[in-house]
Amino acid sequence: MNKLNKLYGFLALGMVVAFTSCQSASGNKTGSEYMPDMAHPVTYEANLFDYYKYNRWGSADDLHKMVQPRKPIEGTIARGMAGNGHEGNVAFRSNGAVPYYYGDTEEERERAMREILNNPYPISEKHLAHGKLLYNIQCGICHGEKGDGNGYLVRDDGGKYPVQPANFMLEDFIASSNGRYYHAIMHGKNLMGSYADKLSYEERWEVIQYIRSLQAASVKLEYNEKENTLNTTDTPLSMVASKKVVEAPAPVMETSEEMNQ
């Protein structure tokens, strides 16, 4: 008899737990949850007030104070910041989140080629050196170390590579505007995918500078921080330093107002 009573007691307790832990929400009642910490973590989220009395320490007022917006940690860089530089005494690397207002269509590619002309960064040894490093890592495997479209993926695959990478040494590419290269980096072209998430804003322009330097060498022209006889859109650093010209303005798609929005 005692065993039977115990069994009935356990059954009754189980039913009570079931009914009280799984109440359905209705009206102004949120119902009950069996494991509230699965949906309401003990840790708090910044700028989110989600007080739940069953797994919080302190009162609702305590949590409300904790989740209020606060000053960012010194050296924090805002999302979308363009270019490399210094904020206070902290150096930072750009995150490449500069807006780009050209779509992934042939019409938009042609518009970018017409409108994006000037490289916003002056030609410098620093940019060219970094551009070479990035090019060899990200681009040279297909386009080749010399920019001739003969990278090792193409050379060493026994003729199985599906699409011939662009040969930047061709006259058509040498004569093309900077927009042709920048748009290809942002959206890709043919088999090549987008590299917008792999190169920051400044890095994209550094790679373009390095490609231009390869082109200049192939036709025996100058493209360095002292002289540029390849085109009229990229300004040598020496000319900027001597104040003979101002630094090239950013292309149409990036203005300071838009970047700060």
Question: Residue 256: its pLDDT value, please?
Answer: 35
Between 179 and 67, whose confidence is greater?
179
pLDDT single digits (tens) 72-120: 788 776 665 544 444 444 444 454 567 788 999 999 999 999 999 999 9
- 118 with 223, same domain? yes
Q: Are residues 235 and 110 in the same domain?
A: yes
97 within some domain: no
Return the axis-axis angle of helices 178-187 and 106-115, rounded to nearest 10°: 140
pLDDT in tens, 245-257: 655 544 433 433 3
Burial of 187-220, coded b for 16+ CB within 10 Å and e otherwise, reads bebeebeebbeebbbbbbbbbbbbbbbbbbeeee
Residue 36, pLDDT above cutoff 70: no
The better pLDDT of the pair 190, 66 is held by 190
Burial class (CB in 10 A: 0-12, 13-18, 19+), 223: buried
156: CATH: 1.10.760.10
User: Whose CA is closest to 173, among 195, 144, 201?
Assistant: 144
Whole-model pTM over 0.85: no
Beta strands of 85-198 (E only): which ranges? 85-87, 90-92
Query: Domain span at residue 166?
Result: 106-259
Is 80 exceeded by the pLDDT of residue 30?
Answer: no
Please name the residue that has the structure tokens 């109440």: 23
Q: Is 55 contained in some domain?
A: yes
Q: Is residue 85 part of a domain?
A: no
Q: Are 139 and 246 contained in the same domain?
A: yes
- Give the DSSP per-residue string, 67-102: TS--PPPTT---TT--SSEEETTEEE----------
- Helix (H/G/I), strand (E/B), else coil: 123: strand
Tally the C-alpha atoms within 13 A of residue 39's C-alpha that lie toward its C-beta.
Answer: 8
Does 218 reside within a domain? yes
Is residue 168 included in any domain, yes or no?
A: yes
My answer on whether 238 and 181 are in the same domain is: yes
How many domains does the chain divide into? 2
Q: Which long-range contacts (CB under 8 A, 24 or more apart) does 129-138 make?
A: 130/203, 130/206, 131/203, 131/206, 131/207, 131/208, 131/209, 131/210, 131/211, 131/213, 132/210, 134/199, 134/203, 134/206, 134/207, 134/210, 135/207, 135/210, 135/211, 138/195, 138/198, 138/199, 138/207
Reduced to 3 states, what is the DSSP secondary structure of residue 149?
coil
